[in-house]
Amino acid sequence: MTAEELAAALTDDEPPVLLDVRWALRRTRDESHERYLVGHLPGAVYVDLEAELAAPPSPLAGRHPLPAVGDLEAAARRWGVCEGSSVVVYDDVAGTSAARAWWLLRWAGVASVRLLDGGLAAWTAAGLSLEAGEVTAEPGDLVVRPGAMATVTADEAAAWPGTLLDARAAERYAGVVEPVDPRAGHIPGAVSVPTAGNVDDDGRFLPDEALRARFAGLVGAVAVYCGSGVTAAHEIAALAAIGAEAALYPGSWSAWSNDPARPVATGDRP
């Protein structure tokens, strides 16, 4: 939704729950929280991606495994999410972090979850105000019912019968660089479609026609992975915007590359 649409929705008798997912790969948790405290959308509750949108990392499960159901339910209730709530999520990195919350809440059975298109920058560009300090929500009563969004395992990704998308930067896919994980390259057979190409220079999703053109070559069922299962959710959101479904490989490259038994491909082709 646009900033203007969100501003109007926040004046409704039952406004959406507003979540600030201020996270980036090379930013510390303290820095992310401090940015939130300095200025956020009015009423937005801070979401700690590392602690609330992921389980502890491990070589087997990757850097951002899916959280335990009970932990996600407790976090969502802290955010103020109730049965029947509508939720809007945003960040300051073109939706690539907020999309993780979007995907997890959809996976948890929350029917109405939307991304603020363009995030914090779009809100301020529209001349809308921010507020400072911590927001504590009235506790919610959400019951998490997992499985509403599809996932795939490493074995399923290895033998994926349709199109497997790699949402990382092209140079990581090709194996030219690998700044985070133990091996460089990609899952054999995966196609490079970097998440960054889903948005324009202002960090807003491309028009539907452009997204359809971008994903026009997909064949069969679609699954997506990235570095650790975070930005792949943004690719799934872009596909959802044009009516296409895709499954997430939660462990993504961080889990795959830690398993010496898994083959690795390099170069700019599947």
The residue count for the chain: 270
Q: Which residue has the tokens 């398993």?
A: 259
Q: Are 224 and 167 in contact (CB under 8 A)?
A: yes
Q: Are 21 and 90 in contact (CB under 8 A)?
A: yes
Give the Cα separation of 227 and 213 in Å (integer).
Answer: 24
Give the Cα separation of 94 and 241 in Å (integer).
Answer: 15
**Max CA pair span of the chain:** 55
* Active-site residue, selected from the candidate residues 88, 149, 167, 226: 226
In the annotation, is 226 catalytic?
Answer: yes
Helix spans in 126-261 (H): 154-158, 170-174, 208-214, 232-241, 252-256
The Cα-based distances of 115 to 105, 184, 186 in angstroms read 12, 31, 28
Q: How far is CA 191 from the centre of its chain?
A: 19
User: How many other CB atoms are there within 10 angstroms of residue 153's CB atom?
Assistant: 11
Torsion, Cα 174 178 183 185, to 10 degrees, reads -10
Q: Which residues pair with 192 in a beta bridge?
A: 166
Give the Cα separation of 80 and 21 in Å (integer).
Answer: 15
Rg, the chain, Cα only: 18
Active-site residues, by number, are 226
